Structure 1
């Protein structure tokens, strides 16, 4: 049985969810799949992740400065290069002899795999799957055989960073099959499951706005919840992830629908009418697959803003830039033409395009054929 090795990272949940979705697809096609958390292979990986979390939570201005600086850089900085070199042997050791491809759903893993491939130390093809809609230069590395982009705008950004257009393909986004558009009956059942029905069992008189801040519950979630409630258009349903402090504050403030970590996000999304988010990564794709229109509001700095710009440009998620715009945008998304357009655009995006697993299989077959021809020629 041929094997594909996927390198992700437990930085939030987006990189891992993409890796799992790809692993499910490849397994269904008969591949054996190994998954590795790159942070366990890189020296001080956990410390790096912890520092990132503290900075993005408590010092967003500093994170924006770091992000902007690295966005302009042609390659990783000195400290990053040293950490990545320290991960090279562990990454090689994680790729067994029967592997036919290595995949990265995390940019630092892409750097190591690509450079190993370029140096001739890795014989199998390297595939990089973007988990953001915008492309930071850290995703781009020499030696990568194929980049899979969720949208044409993303692919264009990769090319603008110097990637050969022949090595970039727009592929169906990696979303679990558990996320799917449901019926009105499913929505009612989902609302009952999460206690979102009215006091007498009636439906809420306002649309339900699912508010997410990722698995860490980062960003201006509390103020966003207040703004949503004050808009008078929606009732906020807030998911705080593993941020227990935020969950406690919101409950103490009297918000009726506040959750911590939610294991059944497909059902919660099915219960809601619109999603408001601040980062634009995996949860946005999941909302598209569920048929929810999406708004970006009070976006995170760095990748949050660059993702918001791409989503807005692509017509997939409106970027609400001020509190004054919020009520009108929510009305348009829950009862207007914009909501229907975004609903259709999101479903078309996650339901169409080339299958990422099929593209990986084509790459493996192509390179295997080239190797066979070369062997015959010799």
Structure 2
């Protein structure tokens, strides 16, 4: 059996599985094919049996093992904010035993890789305006999308239509909750200034003899000597474990997510917007290819420099140690360099098949200024969606 035949068989099996899981779907819809798949769901193209098949729907079938709280959270997000400002709406929710499917309007869209390298300035403006308009609405409801990326921002290039989808990782937050979380975690990781200024004593903090020495224990009270060292002291071992959300797609996670900061805000969505704009202005996709958080942090450091990343970590109550020092790179120079490289590669490839090479695209300085504001390492000073929409690049 060929690869295409295997794919067709898998797709057919998926459609049958969907109908078997929720019998009502077979009564209401013609399910045509699978159009998308993620870690927690599969999306199918369908039309109503009672219609002339003109109106199309996207059926999002969540895997049966999905957490019920996660399903409820996504459903509430779609009901509360969907259907306006380029945000996908919800037509119907179907449930049968342990299976759930969301019925949403279907929008034909292009792949990001098909247009990212040749978007004009005006097209880029429209694209970023729509994305930030959608996020402005999301953030007004104190909701973090948490998975902003090209695959979740659909773009119909022919008709200039946009749609923000997939609220499966969305998170509700309030300022009060963030202040409480910050206070609790700051108590658990607080390091006295006196401890940092003292010279490290030559002993093993985890040595059993030392632990049961009352004099030594008295001297060690409330003092930590392991911060930034390749060991964990007895005092830190008994502290409550610090937890922080890590949900999101590799390559689009903000520095505060990679550094496991507990009180995360809607600014993580803005960082992801910045990564998408970086892909467009540099003509490079994907821009970051990080398989894990440590590599992702190093990729960011390669652009922003070790000093800036260390300063960012310090503001979050963290410490990052690098084996070598890297300078900061100017984003505009980097994008222009990558554009030139990509044009040369495309030119060589297309000339080999007798096609015309793409023309040069020059973005104004305002575009790069907005990019630097979207990719601000400090989430507290990072531009908001509302502010970005008033930026000279998008308001002109």
TM (norm. structure 2) is 0.29
**Which is helix-richer, 1 or 2?**
1
Q: Could you say which structure has the larger radius of gyration?
A: 2
Greater RCO (Cα-Cα under 8 Å, separation 6 or more): 1
Report the TM-score, using the length of structure 1 for normalisation: 0.30
